[in-house]
Amino acid sequence: MSRKVALLTGGSSGIGRVTVMRLLDEGWHVVVAGRKLPNFSAQELSERPHLMGQANLSFLPLNLADLGSVRDCARAFLSMDLPLDALVLNAGVAGVQGQTKQGIEFAFGVNHLGHFLLTQLLLEKLRHSAPSRVVTVASRAHHFARDGIEWSKLHQTSQSWFGVKDYAVSKLANIWFSRSLGKRLASDNVSCYSLHPGVVRTGIWRYAPAWFKPVLGVRSMLTPEEGAMTTLHCILHAPQRETGLYYANCRPAIPSPVALNDEEAEKLWVQSLDICSAWL
């Protein structure tokens, strides 16, 4: 049987790095799209001789804050002529102030819009590879986006000064995107899952102000190994017929009432297509 292939964004650290390692353990070919490859420790390498040559680990440059880079990445993946069994939209930022290269609020641009464009450019590949799946790492933080998305502010710099609100909105967008995509691809046997990985000790808030970090440090947190479990469940085990659902603790969970608003999810789809139109 031929090797399964995953394209995963942001595999350099945290949850993504462990997901890459576990998929390699399972015999997958993993294409990491991001700014750098994961480093494996001497102990990890000695426990996993198959990581040594890393023949099944490829790298494609991707900066999600620039839609031109996203398009180049998609083209480079298509030129590899591989199937795409799982597209794993894992990369994320929190606590960054500013706008992307195209002038979009930074967290929304990186966490949602870059992934939206990447997926659009790989839709035909996903259909041809069916049964295939798209796994989006969202967050329970979407509960803080109680008012949904302020559409008029997407082209402005981050609104909240240490980024929690913007991060929450971007993670709500992840869930809306996954639900909408699931509906659109249901008849193609391409299934979509969004998920909360748990509260995980990673560097996701490294760009937040220094005073904010001790607040995070006092919480009990999962290890990245534990935090990768729901992502891996959605890639490897979640039933193909379950599409558009939100997962936590390796099982379907109920997101916030706002996250279930399909009219707003549709609006997100239309607005995202509009912003990305020049790169499609």
Ligand X SMILES: NC(=O)c1ccc[n+]([C@@H]2O[C@H](COP(=O)([O-])OP(=O)(O)OC[C@H]3O[C@@H](n4cnc5c(N)ncnc54)[C@H](OP(=O)(O)O)[C@@H]3O)[C@@H](O)[C@H]2O)c1
Shortest Cβ 128–ligand X spacing (Å): 25
Which of the ranges 21-29, 47-55, 182-190, 194-202 carries the binding residues for ligand X, by CB under 6 A? 194-202
What DSSP letter does each residue of the chain carry, written as one string?
A: -PPPEEEEE--SSHHHHHHHHHHHHTT-EEEEEESSPPP--HHHHHH-GGGTT-TTEEEEE--TT-HHHHHHHHHHHHHTT---SEEEE-----S--SB-TTS-BHHIIIIIIHHHHHHHHTHHHHHHT-SEEEEEE--GGGGG-TT---GGGTTSS-SSTTSHHHHHHHHHHHHHHHHHHHHHHGGGTEEEEEEE--SB-SSTTTTS-GGGHHHHHTS--B-HHHHTHHHHHHHHTS-TT--SEEEETTEEE---TGGG-HHHHHHHHHHHHHHHGGG-
β-strands 29-34, 57-61 pairing:
parallel
Complex with ligand X: residue 186 or 221, whichever CB lies closer: 221
Complex with ligand X: residue 130 or 252, whichever CB lies closer: 252
Q: Binder to ligand X among 148, 182, 197, 255 (CB under 6 A)?
A: 197
| Position with the least CB separation from ligand X | 14
Which of the ranges 28-36, 232-240, 250-258, 264-272 carries the binding residues for ligand X, by CB under 6 A? 28-36
Shortest Cβ 43–ligand X spacing (Å): 19
x-or-dash pattern for ligand X, window 94-133, by CB under 6 A? ----------------x-----------------------
Which of the ranges 13-21, 52-60, 181-189, 270-278 carries the binding residues for ligand X, by CB under 6 A? 13-21
Number of residues engaging ligand X in binding (CB under 6 A): 29
Instruction: Clarify whether 247 is annotated catalytic.
Output: no
CA-to-CA distance for 61 and 37, rounded, in angstroms?
Answer: 9
Q: Is residue 199 part of the contact set for ligand X (CB under 6 A)?
A: yes
Shortest Cβ 2–ligand X spacing (Å): 27
Q: Binder to ligand X among 64, 107, 190, 268 (CB under 6 A)?
A: 64
Which of the ranges 74-82, 91-99, 157-165, 261-269 carries the binding residues for ligand X, by CB under 6 A? 91-99
In the complex, which residues of this chain contact ligand X (CB under 6 A)?
A: 9-16, 34-36, 62-65, 90-93, 110, 137, 139, 196-197, 199-200, 202-204
Annotated catalytic sites, by residue? 167
